Amino acid sequence: MRAGKAWLLGLAAFLLALLFFEKSLVIAPIAVVAGWLSLRNGRAPDDETPTRTLLWRRGRNLWLPLGALFVAWTALYLLVSKVVDGEHTLAQTASLVWRSINDGLMPAVAGGPWLWDRWVPSPPMATPPIVLIAAGWLVLAAGIAVAVRLRRGAGLIWACAVGYTVAALIPVMWNRSSKDTALELAQTLRYLPDAAVVLTLAIALTAAAPERDGAVRWAPARLWSPRTVQA
């Protein structure tokens, strides 16, 4: 496909995603941030052009229609949607976000959750053992530490990925809960599929980032090569 027509495919994919998943709205800002991080880490050392300028020049055929659809869909969503009835509280929202991450995402990082429970007619709820939750935190911390040690810019990449994962849960948990909402709602994992995509994107951006000086001596560079990620 010619580069001049690629924006049409991107716009169509964005629209299709919006029709099926409300959190697809964040695809546009994620694409912009991912493009900025990629250019920031991959540009030539002697290139003094601001990264935001390069990002605009190389992607404006996509950013313009994507941005227009983003604004229009946001306005439509705010017009037709409403907060569910109930007394919403910051404390309950924070508890639900924490439960989603600690009991939902972290076990998945370590290959879980392994165990499930269900309150009919609710969807299944993850009930991971505490050892699996701890393993997930260790795997995530170790992975980020290795990434930061091996690749330049990895710290910013993972700060954006982790920040998104937390921030994207807040409005959903606020809108879908009240002070009496059971915390087990967060263990159904229904609000985490987008996090898997963003974390995978972070791995790919890390693999494509330039190596730090001494990284080859500290650990095999091939473990974080783009070819490894593609495989």
- 5-12: list long-range contacts, CB under 8 Å, 24+ apart: 6/61, 6/62, 7/61, 7/62, 7/65, 7/66, 10/62, 10/66, 11/62, 11/65, 11/66, 11/69
List, in sequence order, the alpha helices (H) in 100-192.
106-109, 130-150, 154-175
Check whether 30 has a pLDDT greater than 80. Answer: yes
- The reported pLDDT for the residue numbered 50 is 83
Question: Does residue 57 surpass a pLDDT of 80?
Answer: yes
> What is the per-residue pLDDT for 170?
92
Question: What's the pLDDT tens digit per position in 123-177?
Answer: 899 999 999 999 999 999 999 999 999 999 999 999 999 999 999 999 888 887 7
For the segment 19-44, the average pLDDT, to the nearest whole number, is: 87
- Higher pLDDT: 129 or 225? It is 129
Mean pLDDT of the chain: 85
Distance between first and last Cα of the chain? 24
pLDDT > 90 in the chain, percent = 49
Q: Is the predicted pLDDT of residue 219 greater than 60, yes or no?
A: no
By mean pLDDT, which of 90-94, 123-127, 220-224 is the weakest? Answer: 220-224
Mean local confidence (pLDDT), 72-92: 80
pTM: 0.84
Residue-level pLDDT at 1: 47
pLDDT digits (tens, 9 = 90+) for 103-130: 999 999 999 899 999 888 888 999 999 9
